Amino acid sequence: MIDVEVGGVIVPIERAVFTALLDNSVAGTYVDYGKALASGKIKFTALLRLARTGEIPYPLFFADLPLVEAQVAAKTEKLLAGVSKETFSVGSRAPVELRDVELILKDLIRKQQLLKRHDPALEKNRIVGLLRREGSSVDKDASMLMSAIGLTHEALLACRTKERALDLIIQRLESRQVLVSRSVQHYMPQRLTHVDFSGMTIRDAKVPYIFLAGGDHGDYQEPVGRTIFTLALMAVLVARRVFAPVTWDAESTATDLGREYDIAGAMLMPASSLRPRSLSSLDEAVSAANELKVTPSAVVVRALRLGYISSETANSHLAEFRQEYLNRPKRSGMSPIRAENAVRKYAGRELSRRMIEALDSGAITSKEFYRTVCLNKLRDDQLDDLRRAVR
């Protein structure tokens, strides 16, 4: 049991009820929750704070467990309508347990709903379902999607760094109402630890979300180049009306990686950009990767699938790249990210910008803005910093 202190009186509630409600909410990450589990007691005022944070009607804490479980199941079923429970895997056998990403999913769906409620300028999304019917070729599908996004291969080549190329793709997608969220430790409702997970696509007719997971995916890939290919792949999934947790193996040379993978490859590495190159050497593959803003391994797998190199050459290159990655100097601790940049990165620049406009117009309260958009990670005196970050 958990003892709730109400005006000097102790009212016990079932621990199973307490955990069922809070483990399935953003409030499950809050300090008061952990303290209550450890001590077996909580003040009623703290319980109310957790209930408000988790959007839980507080009388449910005093209800019987079967009723609570039914309520949680009904809410979860409604929220998870935005994504399939089946993992979309590309060359990977690693499944994603929905509970490992469920709080992030629920939070991003909440953000979608808030934006749709308060932004009358939103239109029906033209990217969702664009490639629902297969075109005559992978190259034509890639060209159609690139055109719809407003992205050109020349624009990507003109980017001086992979970071700038990634920012460009995100900007183009968000200008078409495809929201992009990126993992930021300590600024999400859930930590992604021990999860082999590339990201997920979340259904919506107006503002679908793409969530990009960060961290080490165990395939020895340079992070930014890998993220660029992941984003292209997930843009293809949105266009194919596939909404699911996504996991993929960036080193896979399997023959059945699928049409979605090949469309993403054609977007970033057109056959014409690889055909003139001799990719038999490691240096040439690295040079091509730097120019095309992907990883050397992505170039190798793409060249293999186009028939430009043999499987023996591809596997040899991938083994070399893997060893080089393992032998690279260890990076020192990264500089801490500023709070406004972390909020912009996780919520997405476009959602943050539009919701600041809704806040300024009085369409939403500051309390709702800080709770849903910022997860209460920003204070009033940091709002101008966020304004500058999303310009």
- DSSP for 215-250 reads S--SS---HHHHHHHHHHHHHHHHHTT--SEEEE-T
Average pLDDT of span 303-325: 90
105 and 67, same structural domain? no
H/E stretch holding 12 reads strand 9-13
Q: Are strands 209-212 and 179-182 parallel, antiparallel or unpaired?
A: parallel
Confidence of residue 137 (pLDDT cuts 50, 70, 90): very high
At 214 the pLDDT is 75
pLDDT in tens, 29-57: 688 998 999 999 999 999 999 998 788 99
369 and 309, same structural domain? no
344 and 319, same structural domain? no
Q: Over 70: is that where the pLDDT of 333 sits?
A: no
Among 129, 111, 94, 159, which residue's Cα sits nearest to residue 293?
159
At 94 the pLDDT is 74
At 161 the pLDDT is 95
180 and 94, same structural domain? yes
At 203 the pLDDT is 94
Average pLDDT of span 214-225: 72
Domain for residue 103, yes or no?
yes
Confidence of residue 215 (pLDDT cuts 50, 70, 90): low
Confidence of residue 241 (pLDDT cuts 50, 70, 90): very high
Give the residue, 167 or 25, on which the prediction is more confident: 167
**Is 125 within 8 Å of 208 (Cβ atoms)?**
yes
138 and 29, same structural domain? no
Of the residues 305, 327, 349, which one is the last residue of a structural domain? Answer: 327
Average pLDDT of span 118-134: 94
At 332 the pLDDT is 59
Domain for residue 384, yes or no?
yes
Domain for residue 362, yes or no?
yes
314 and 359, same structural domain? no
pTM greater than 0.85 (yes/no): no
- Split into its structural domains, the chain has a count of 3
Cβ burial 342-381 (10 Å sphere, 16+ → b, else e): bbbbbbbbbbbbbbbebbeeeebeeeebbbbbbbebbeee
For residue 377, the enclosing domain spans 339-389
pLDDT in tens, 338-364: 999 999 999 999 999 999 999 999 999
Of the residues 290, 305, 327, which one is the last residue of a structural domain? Answer: 327
At 239 the pLDDT is 97
103 and 45, same structural domain? no
Residue found under tokens 């992205």: 151
Q: How many Å apart are CA 262 and CA 363, to the nearest integer? A: 43
At 194 the pLDDT is 66
Average pLDDT of span 230-257: 90
252 and 214, same structural domain? yes
Q: Over 80: is that where the pLDDT of 95 sits?
A: no
Q: Select, from the ranges 67-76, 317-326, 352-361, the one with the highest average predicted confidence (pLDDT).
A: 352-361
Among 279-283, 293-297, 381-385, name the one with the lowest average pLDDT: 279-283
DSSP 68: H
Give the residue, 357 or 76, on which the prediction is more confident: 357
Domain for residue 333, yes or no?
no
Percent of the chain with pLDDT over 90: 66
Among 79-88, 198-207, 212-221, 242-251, name the one with the lowest average pLDDT: 212-221
**Is 228 within 8 Å of 165 (Cβ atoms)?**
yes
At 309 the pLDDT is 92
Region of 362 (left: φ > 0; alpha: ψ -120 to 50; beta: rest) is: left
240 and 100, same structural domain? yes
Domain for residue 332, yes or no?
no
Among 12-26, 81-95, 287-301, name the one with the lowest average pLDDT: 81-95
Domain for residue 377, yes or no?
yes
186 and 72, same structural domain? no
Domain for residue 211, yes or no?
yes
Q: Over 90: is that where the pLDDT of 67 sits?
A: yes
At 38 the pLDDT is 93
254 and 152, same structural domain? yes
Domain for residue 278, yes or no?
yes
Q: How many Å apart are CA 177 and CA 83, to the nearest integer? A: 18
78 and 92, same structural domain? no
